[in-house]
Structure 1
Amino acid sequence: MIEDQWFTVQSIDETTFAISEYGHWEKVHSFLLLGRDRAALIDTGLGIGNIRSITDRLTDLPIDVLTTHVHTDHIGSHGEFERIFVHEGDQDWLVHGIKGLSLEQIRRDIGRDISKPVPEGFDPRSYSPFQGKPAGLLKDGDSVELGGRTLTVYHTPGHSPGHLAFYDQMNGYLFTGDLLYNGTPIYAFYPSTSPVDLVQSLERIAGIGGVRKIFGSHNLLGLEPEILGEVQHAVQMLRENDLIKFGTGIHTFNGFSIQF
Structure 2
Amino acid sequence: MVRDDWFTVQQIDSDTYAISEYGHWEKVHSFLLIGQDKAILIDTGLGIGNIRKVTDQLTDLPVEVLTTHVHADHIGSHGQFDTFYVHEEELDWIVNGIKGRTDEQIRKDMTRDITIPTPPGFEPETYRPFRGVPSETVKDGDVFDLGSRLLRIYHSPGHSPGHITIHDEMKGYLFTGDLLYDGTPVYAFYPTTNPEDLVRSLERIADIPGVTRVFGSHHTVGLDPQILPEVKSAARELRERDLVRFGTGIHRFPSFSVQF
Following superposition, the deviation at residue 122 of structure 1 comes to 1.0
Between the aligned partners of 1:185 and 1:100, the Cα distance in structure 2 is 21
| SS of residue matched to 1:230 | helix
* 1:28-56 deviation digits (Å, cap 9, x = unpaired): 00000000001000000000001001011
| SS of residue matched to 1:137 | strand
Following superposition, the deviation at residue 64 of structure 1 comes to 1.2
Following superposition, the deviation at residue 99 of structure 1 comes to 1.8
Counterpart residue number, 2:60: 60
Following superposition, the deviation at residue 107 of structure 1 comes to 1.0
Counterpart residue number, 1:110: 110
5+ residue gaps in structure 2?
none
Counterpart residue number, 1:48: 48
The one-letter code of the counterpart of 2:9 is: V
1:25 to 2:25 alignment: yes
Counterpart residue number, 1:81: 81
* 1:226-251 deviation digits (Å, cap 9, x = unpaired): 00011011100000011011000000
Following superposition, the deviation at residue 101 of structure 1 comes to 1.0
Counterpart residue number, 1:154: 154
1:144 to 2:144 alignment: yes
| SS of residue matched to 2:198 | helix
Structure 1 runs of 4+ with >4 Å offset: none
Counterpart residue number, 2:11: 11
Following superposition, the deviation at residue 194 of structure 1 comes to 0.4
Between the aligned partners of 2:105 and 2:230, the Cα distance in structure 1 is 34
Between the aligned partners of 1:200 and 1:180, the Cα distance in structure 2 is 13
Following superposition, the deviation at residue 94 of structure 1 comes to 0.1
Q: TM-score, normalised by structure 1?
A: 0.99
5+ residue gaps in structure 1?
none
Between the aligned partners of 2:27 and 2:100, the Cα distance in structure 1 is 23
Between the aligned partners of 1:99 and 1:172, the Cα distance in structure 2 is 35
1:238 to 2:233 alignment: no
Between the aligned partners of 2:176 and 2:5, the Cα distance in structure 1 is 27
Between the aligned partners of 1:123 and 1:57, the Cα distance in structure 2 is 25
Between the aligned partners of 1:124 and 1:100, the Cα distance in structure 2 is 21
Between the aligned partners of 1:181 and 1:213, the Cα distance in structure 2 is 12
Between the aligned partners of 1:26 and 1:168, the Cα distance in structure 2 is 25
* 1:182-213 deviation digits (Å, cap 9, x = unpaired): 00010000000000000000000000111010
Following superposition, the deviation at residue 121 of structure 1 comes to 1.4
Between the aligned partners of 2:165 and 2:61, the Cα distance in structure 1 is 23
The aligned length equals: 260
Following superposition, the deviation at residue 177 of structure 1 comes to 0.2
Counterpart residue number, 1:128: 128
The one-letter code of the counterpart of 1:187 is: Y
Between the aligned partners of 2:65 and 2:13, the Cα distance in structure 1 is 20
Between the aligned partners of 1:151 and 1:48, the Cα distance in structure 2 is 28
Counterpart residue number, 1:199: 199
Following superposition, the deviation at residue 12 of structure 1 comes to 0.3
The one-letter code of the counterpart of 1:5 is: D
1:251 to 2:251 alignment: yes
Q: TM-score, normalised by structure 2?
A: 0.99
Sequence identity percentage = 65
Q: Aligned ranges for residues 32-43 of structure 1 at < 5 Å?
A: 32-43=32-43
Between the aligned partners of 2:70 and 2:55, the Cα distance in structure 1 is 20
Q: Alpha carbon RMSD of aligned pairs, Å?
A: 0.6
